[in-house]
Structure 1
Amino acid sequence: MKTIEKVNYKGFIWPLVVGVIMWCMTPIRPDGLSAIAWQMFTVFVATIIGCITKPLPISGTTLLGLVVTVLLGLAPVESTKSASGVVTNSGILSAFSNSASWLIAMAFIMAAGITKTGLGNRIAYNMIKLFGKRSIGIAYAITGLELIMGGLIPSNSARSGGVVWPIVESISETYDSKPDEKSRKKIGAFLDFMAFHANIISTALFVTGAAPNIVAQAMAAKAHYQMTWIGWFTTAIVPVVICAVVIPWLIYKMFPPEIKETPNAKAWSEGKLAEMGKMSVPEKIMTAVFVMAILMWVLAGFFDIQQFEAAYVAFLAVVILLITGVLKVDDLLKEKGAWNILIWLSILVFMASKLTDYGFIVWFAKTVQSGLHGISWGVVLAVLVLVMFYSHYFFASGTAHVTALYLPFLTVSVAAGAPLALSAMMLALTTTIMASTTHYANGPASILASTGYVSQSEWWKYNFILGLVYLVIFGVTVPLWGKVIGLW
C-alpha cells in the first residue's frame, strides 16, 4: 500500500510566524526602504529560517520560497523587458542560469568519476603508505589526502564520509581500536578527530571545496567582487599550509593516541593497493581530465577567454568523461547531490539578487555607513569575523549561515571603509573554519562526531581551543599575505 511521505510540519511554524510578522510590519518599515524591498527581504528571511528548521529538505524549502515570491507578486515567472530589449525585472526561471550553481553541480558529477574509477582510494592508500609509520604520520597523511581530495571532490561531506572515514575506520580496527571506552583512545579517537580538522583545512583551500564556498563566491559577485579559482587558492595557500603543519601536531599533543607507532599501516595500505592492481584505463582518463580542468581553471585567472570560464570547464570535463565511457548518463542522473544543490543554490542566489535589484543592499550599506562613522574599518572587519565565526553555534548548516550573513556582513565591512577584496576573502575563509564549533556544524561534523570515537564534551572542548587557533592564523596571515599578493 502506498503511503504519504512524511513532512516535518512543525518546521513550518517559525518561518511562517516570522514571515507573517515581518510582512505586517511593511507599513512601519525603516525609512528609505521601499515596500517591495522589505517584502522581498521578508520572504528571504523566512526561507533561510526554513532552511534551518527544515520542514522540507533544503531544495524543497527553497522551491517553496520561490513559489511564494511569485505568489506575492515580488517577481514574475519570466523576465520582463523594455521596448529596447533591456531586462527590467528578472523572472524566477532566470535563477537556473546561475553559472556558480552549474559549476558545483558538474563538479559533483566529476567527483562521481573519482569514486567510480577508484582513483580516490588509490590516492588515499598511497598517502598512508608513504606517511603511515607513526600515528602522527597518519595524521599528516590524512591532512595531505584531504588537501588533494579538496580539489577533486567539491562536497566536504562526500570527502569525509566517502573517502577519508572508511580509511580511518579500517586503520583503527587494524589496531583493535573501536568506538568504546576501553579502546577508542588507542588511535581511533585521535584519527577521527584529525579527519574532521583535515576536512576543515582542505575546505579552506579551494573555492570548490564545499557548497558554502560557492555560495560565498556567488554572494561576493553581488557586491561586484569576482572570486576566481586561482584567486581563492592564492589567498588561502599560506594560512592553509600553516594550519596543515600546526593543527595535526596540536591535536597530537592535546588529544594524543595511546598508540604512537603504527608499523602495520604501511603493510595495510600496500595490501589494499595490491588488491587494486595497476592503474586502470578509466583511472588514467579521470586523472588526465581532472588535470586538464585544474589547468584551465588556473589559466582562467590570467586569460579572459570564454572557454576557460569555470562552469564551462566543468561541463567540458563531464562531456569528455561521457564520451570516453568513464561515466554514463545514468551516473549523471543518479547524482542527487548535484541536482539538489543546483536547485537550492540557484534559488538562494536569485533571492539575494532581488534584494540588490530592489535597493535593500544599497539601503543597508548606507545605513551602516552612517552608523559606523569614525570607527576604524579594521575593527569593524575583526568584529564581523568573530560574529560570523561564533554565530555558527546557532546554525546546523554552513550554507544557510553563509546565505543569511555573508552579503550583509560584506556590505557592512565595505561601508566602514574596508577594502572589498580583503573583506570578501576574509569573511569567506572565516566561513570555512567556523565548522570547528559544534558536532552539528556541518556534514563532516555530523558524520565523524557520531562514530562513537569522540565524546560530545571532547568535541566541544577541543574544538573551542582549535577555533581560537584558526582565528589567529587566518586573522593574521590573510591580511598580511593579502598585502603581499596585492589583494588590498
Structure 2
Amino acid sequence: MKKLEKVNYKGFIAPLIVGILLWVLTPLRPGGLSPQAWEMFAIFVATIVGCITKPLPIGGTTLVGLVVTVLVGLAPMKDVVDPKTGAVVSTGVLSAFGNSASWLIAMAFIMAHGISKTGLGHRIAYNMIKKFGKRPLGIGYAITGLELILGALIPSNSARTGGVVWPVVKSVAEGYDSKPDDETRKKIGAYIDFTAFHANILSTALFVTGAAPNMVAQQMAAKQNYQMTWISWFFAALVPVAIGAVVVPFIIYKIFPPEIKETPNAKKWAGDKLQEMGPMSTPEKIMACVFVLAIMMWTLAGFFKIPQLDSTFVAFLAVAILFVTGVLTVKDALKETGAWNILLWLSILIFMAGKLIAFGFIGWFSQTIQTDVKGIGWGVVLAILVLLMFYTHYFFASGTAHMTALYLPFLSVAVATGAPLALSAMLLAFTGAFNASTTHYANGPASVLASTGYVKQGEWWKLNVVLGFVYLIIFGVIGTLWMKIIGMW
C-alpha cells in the first residue's frame, strides 16, 4: 500500500503563529503604512520563518507563501493591465517565473552537472593535490585553490563541498590513517576538513554565482537600482579573496595545526587517481571549452555592455551547446533537481520582496531608520549594519533566508543615510558569504564538514570566532579600500 510522504507539520507552527500574530496587528500598524504593506510583510516574515523551520523543503515553503499571497488578494495570478493606458496596474505571480537571475542559476546548475558527469571537477582536484600536496599547508592551499576554481564552475556551495571537495579531503585523511571521532583525527583530517570549509567561504565570496545567497543579493540590489554583473562582483571580490586565500589556511595551520608535517603520500595518491582516470576524454574537453567560452562572454558583456551577451542568454547558450555536442542530455537537465528547485523558490522570494517595495514597506522602513540615525555618519551606520548582518547569522540556519530577510532593508537604510550604493551593496553581499564562519549549522557546507567528526563542535565555534574577525578586517577594511581604488565609490 502506498503511503503519504513525510511532512514536518511541527515546522508549520512557528510561521503560522508569527504570520497570524502580525496579520491581526494590522489595525495597529505604524503610521505611514497601508494595510496591504503590513499584510504583505506578515506573509513575507512567516515565509522566511518557514524557510528556517522547514515544514517543507524551501521550494514548497515559498510556494505556500505565494499561494497565501494570492488567496488574501495581495497579488493576482496574471498581470492586471489598465485598458486605457496599457500600463501594468498589479503584477501577477506568474511574472515571478520570468526572472532572469533565477533562470541563470538554473542553467548554471545544469552546466555544473556536466562538470560532475564528465569527471572534469575531480581531474582538477587531483591535479591540485599532486602539485601542492607535499605538506599539510600545501594541501590546505591546494584545497583552497580547488574551491576557487570550482566556485566558477559549480553554483552551489553545498554541491562543491559534498560532491568534489569532501571526497578528496576524506581520501587524503584516510591515506594517513587519520580517522574521525578518535585520537588520530588531528593527524591531518581535522586541519584539512576545517580548511576546506573556509575555502568554500572564499569561493562563495569570489563569484556572484558562488552560492544562492549571492544571487538573492544581486536581485535585491537591482531593486535599489544597483546592477551586480558577474565581472563587477569578481573584480570587487578579487583582492580581499586573494588575501583571504593566502592568510586563512595559514592562520588555521597555526591555531589548529595538524600533527603530521610532511605529506608525500598525498602526491602519490593524486597521481594514482589521475592515472586511473587516463587522458582527458572528449566530453571533458568540450565541457572545459564551453565553460571557458561562457566565462569569456560574461566578461565581455560586463566590460562592453553588449545586449546580445546577456548573462542569462550566455548560460542558455552554453547548455544548448552541451546538448548539441552530446555532453549532456535533456534527461540529465531534468534530473538536476537543484536547478528547478532554486528556480522555484528564488523567483518567489524575489517576487514577494518586490511586492514589499511596491506596497511601500521598504521605503517606509528606510525612511524611519534614517530619521532615527540622523546625525550619525554613513560610515558608522554601514559598519553597524555589516556587524549586524554578520552576527545575526547565529540565529539563522540558512544563508538564503538570512539574505532574503535582511539584505534589502539593510541596503535601503545604508543608502538612506548617505552611504555609497555600490559599496553598501557589495559589503553587505560579501558579509552574507563570510557570515557562514559562525556556527556548525550556518550553511550547507558547514553541515557537511562539521558533522564528519574531524572537528569537534566546541572547536568549530571557538576557531570561527577568530576567523570571523579576520574576515571582517579583510572584507570590511581592505575590501572597502580596494573598492575605492577601483572606483566603485
CA distance in 2 between counterparts of 1:308 and 1:100 reads: 14
- Deviation of the 1:484 alpha carbon: 0.7
Equivalent residue, structure 1, for 2:451:
450
- Deviation of the 1:181 alpha carbon: 2.1
SS at match of 1:41: helix
Equivalent residue, structure 2, for 1:110:
111
1:377 aligns with 2:394: no
1:352 aligns with 2:353: yes
Equivalent residue, structure 2, for 1:55:
55
Equivalent residue, structure 1, for 2:216:
215
CA distance in 1 between counterparts of 2:311 and 2:449 reads: 32
SS at match of 1:274: helix
1:124 aligns with 2:125: yes
Equivalent residue, structure 2, for 1:66:
66
Contact 2:134 2:267 in 1 (8 A): yes
Equivalent residue, structure 2, for 1:174:
175
CA distance in 2 between counterparts of 1:212 and 1:475 reads: 19
- Deviation of the 1:251 alpha carbon: 0.3
Q: Which moved more, 1:307-316 or 1:225-234?
A: 307-316
Equivalent residue, structure 2, for 1:150:
151
- Deviation of the 1:365 alpha carbon: 1.8
CA distance in 2 between counterparts of 1:424 and 1:150 reads: 21
- Deviation of the 1:307 alpha carbon: 2.2
Q: CA deviation digits over 1:165-223, x for unaligned, max 9?
A: 00010001111111132210110011100100000011100000001000110111111
Q: CA deviation digits over 1:260-292, x for unaligned, max 9?
A: 100111111111110111111000100110001
User: Would you say how many aligned residue pairs link Structure 1 and Structure 2?
Assistant: 488
SS at match of 1:227: coil
Equivalent residue, structure 1, for 2:87:
86
Equivalent residue, structure 2, for 1:15:
15
Letter in 2 for 1:72: V
Contact 2:41 2:356 in 1 (8 A): yes
CA distance in 2 between counterparts of 1:337 and 1:168 reads: 24
Letter in 2 for 1:38: W
Equivalent residue, structure 2, for 1:389:
390
Equivalent residue, structure 1, for 2:189:
188
Q: CA deviation digits over 1:381-424, x for unaligned, max 9?
A: 00000010000000000000000000000011111110111000
Q: CA deviation digits over 1:226-251, x for unaligned, max 9?
A: 00000000000010001000000000
CA distance in 2 between counterparts of 1:368 and 1:251 reads: 39
Letter in 1 for 2:20: V
Equivalent residue, structure 2, for 1:43:
43
Equivalent residue, structure 2, for 1:25:
25
Letter in 2 for 1:16: L
Equivalent residue, structure 2, for 1:241:
242
Letter in 1 for 2:18: V
Q: Which moved more, 1:296-305 or 1:241-250?
A: 296-305
Q: CA deviation digits over 1:107-158, x for unaligned, max 9?
A: 0000000000000011001001110011100000000000000000000000
CA distance in 2 between counterparts of 1:389 and 1:116 reads: 36
Where do 5+ consecutive residues of structure 2 fail to align? none
Equivalent residue, structure 1, for 2:433:
432
Aligned counterparts, 1:466-477, within 5 A: 466-477=467-478
CA distance in 1 between counterparts of 2:401 and 2:205 reads: 18
Equivalent residue, structure 1, for 2:306:
305
- Deviation of the 1:306 alpha carbon: 2.5
Equivalent residue, structure 2, for 1:274:
275
SS at match of 1:183: helix
Q: Which moved more, 1:360-369 or 1:432-441?
A: 360-369
CA distance in 2 between counterparts of 1:368 and 1:458 reads: 38
CA distance in 1 between counterparts of 2:145 and 2:34 reads: 51
CA distance in 2 between counterparts of 1:373 and 1:385 reads: 19
- Deviation of the 1:478 alpha carbon: 1.7
Equivalent residue, structure 1, for 2:480:
479
SS at match of 2:184: coil
CA distance in 2 between counterparts of 1:11 and 1:175 reads: 43
Q: CA deviation digits over 1:4-50, x for unaligned, max 9?
A: 11111111111111111111111111111111111111110110011
Identity of aligned residues (%): 72
- Deviation of the 1:304 alpha carbon: 2.4
Contact 2:300 2:306 in 1 (8 A): no
Letter in 2 for 1:179: P
CA distance in 1 between counterparts of 2:161 and 2:67 reads: 34
1:406 aligns with 2:404: no
Q: CA deviation digits over 1:421-456, x for unaligned, max 9?
A: 100000000010000000000000000000011100
SS at match of 2:89: strand
Equivalent residue, structure 1, for 2:330:
329
- Deviation of the 1:305 alpha carbon: 2.2
CA distance in 2 between counterparts of 1:145 and 1:182 reads: 28
Equivalent residue, structure 2, for 1:421:
422
CA distance in 1 between counterparts of 2:463 and 2:367 reads: 40
What RMSD over aligned residues (CA atoms) do the two structures have, in Å? 0.7
| TM-score of the two chains, using structure 2 as the length reference | 0.99
Where do 5+ consecutive residues of structure 1 fail to align? none
Letter in 2 for 1:389: F
SS at match of 1:88: strand
Letter in 2 for 1:284: K
